[in-house]
Amino acid sequence: MRSQWIEHKGKKLLLINVANLTHDYDTLKNELEALIVLLSAEPKNSVLAVADLRGTHLNNNALLTLMSNAPMAAPYFRKSALVIESNYARRIILDSLGQFVGHLPKRFEHLDEAKDWLASEEA
């Protein structure tokens, strides 16, 4: 599994590493399903999570996978960040996910910035 618990500035973070999967939707689906199992052991509204999607192509297959798994994962996140390339098409795609998860993760272009934000005391 590519997702793992890490420590950053004294905080326990869940790094959801699905970067560089390009068009590998089976692996994306498997990773997200494993993530749901991992999260189920945690209290709801407790997890600080960062998802790295850089280099993963977000076509219809990827979006369907994200939409089917995001509502099951979202209740466990207290604070979440998304690391992804910034462009207009991706912004529209990700904004549409908000209807499935209630709120969108804060977006970053660099993993270290996302981890710093998660580790901050800001809620």
> What is the 3 state secondary structure string of 69-97?
HHHHHHHHEEEEEEECCCCHHHHHHHHHH
pLDDT at 115: 97
User: What is the distance between the alpha carbons of residues 17 and 63, in angstroms, rounded to a whole number?
Assistant: 16
Q: Within the chain, which residues score under 70 in pLDDT?
A: 1, 87-103, 121-123
* CATH of the structural domain 4-119, one choice from 3.40.50.1100, 3.40.50.300, 2.40.50.140, 3.30.750.24: 3.30.750.24
pLDDT at 95: 62
Nearest to 49 by CA among 19, 21, 85, 78: 78
Structure-token pair, residue 41:
């052991």
78: left (phi over 0), alpha (psi -120 to 50) or beta: alpha
pLDDT at 2: 80
User: What is the distance between the alpha carbons of residues 16 and 50, in angstroms, rounded to a whole number?
Assistant: 6
pLDDT at 123: 47
pTM for the predicted model, two decimal places: 0.82
